[in-house]
Homo-oligomer: A and B are copies of this chain.
Amino acid sequence: MYYLGIDVGGMSIKGALVDKEGVIHYRANIKTEAEKTSEEILQDIKDLCLSLVSEGGIKINALRGIGIGIPGSIDAEEGVIVYSNNINFENVKIVEYLKKTFDCPIKIGNDANVAALGEMKYGSGKGSKNLILVTLGTGVGTGIIVESKILLGKYGAGGEGGHMTLVYNGLPCTCGKKGCWERYASATALIRITEEYSNKYPDSEVAKIIKKEGKISGKTAFIAARNGDKTGAKIVSKYVKYVAEGLISLVNIFRPDCILIGGGVSNEGSYLMKKIERRVSRYSYGGSRNYKVPVKKAELQNDAGMLGAAALCIDN
């Protein structure tokens, strides 16, 4: 029994042929051509699925399901992409379209949610029924699993933890509100904070690295901090506080089995995770009287989307 897991992203569409245990037997990806119409992109996805089957060396009737993760508002029940702001998708009946070619269950989900499911089934969340995957990237994405199921909310509009208010009347967010967590805890925010401090402390190692490399990245402050630079340490500390503060809110609401951190910033590994975990544990409601939520690096990273998408169809 085989499954396809498709991860539709703004840059590429990744696909994998997966078995029930989450082992990837074959993988392929294509470029996302954002200028294409939704019909053309649907055809690209269909072609990718067909090639995964043929190149993966299985017969099409060995296929037990196709799962697809897509950024944006997804109506999983109806199989419709309600809206996706990176790709030309608005009210696209993707499941109905693929059903014409494939005679197996086809399920869709929001990419962040689906990645959380992947981590729960095959990654750092294995064994947990309740977890939150927080992806620190351009924004802050949250995939929330309650009792082994994705928390969807009405018409799939839930799970937007990045848009909790962290700073009342704070920085304006693209969502129209002010002070959203993602304005402070995303990789974008980390770069902004790094820039502010490097301007303020032009003799710091942070400033020197930026001058030398000609650019600022989410790694800059961490490199400097690990080298003993005070400014780097200050930036990391400020950023950790912002990340942890939003996590504490989520812990107080959900008290999940664990929190997983994904996205480029999570490559800072246990150096970052331990700092975050310490703060979360200290300031969560009830302190040491309550369950201490472990904060771990998401393991599957770029494969989480494909594996989670496939998982939409496994055991369903």
A residues near B (Cβ < 8 Å) are 73, 82-83, 130, 142, 144, 146-147, 149, 151-155, 157-161, 163-168, 170, 175-177, 179, 184, 242, 245-246, 248-250, 252-257, 283, 285-287, 289-291, 293
Contacts and interface: CB of A to CB of B under 8 A. Distances in A.
Nearest to A290: B157
Contact of A165 (B130, B158, B249, B255): B249
A165 B245 contact: yes
A210 to B, nearest CB: 26
A17 B99 CA distance: 53
B130 A153 contact: yes
B151 A248 contact: no
Contact of A254 (B158, B168, B170, B257): B158
Given A147-B149, A164-B252, A155 B290 contact: yes
20 contacts: A73-B286, A73-B289, A73-B290, A83-B289, A130-B153, A146-B151, A151-B254, A152-B255, A153-B255, A154-B256, A154-B291, A155-B290, A155-B291, A157-B255, A161-B253, A163-B252, A163-B285, A166-B168, A167-B168, A168-B168
Contacts of A161: 252-253
A130 B144 contact: no
Contact of A287 (B176, B249, B252): B176
A253 B165 contact: no
Instruction: Report the copy number of this chain in the oligomer.
Output: 2
Chain A to chain B: the 9 pairs with minimum beta-carbon distance, closest first = A153-B255, A158-B255, A164-B249, A160-B252, A157-B255, A154-B291, A157-B290, A163-B252, A167-B168
A20 to B, nearest CB: 25
Task: Give the one of A160, A161, A176, A242 with max B CB within 10 A.
Answer: A160
Nearest to A287: B176
Contacts of A254: 151, 153, 158
Given A255-B157, A283-B177, A165 B163 contact: no
Given A83-B286, A147-B147, 8 more contacts: A73-B286, A82-B289, A146-B147, A155-B255, A157-B285, A158-B256, A168-B179, A253-B253
Contact of A154 (B168, B250, B252, B293): B293
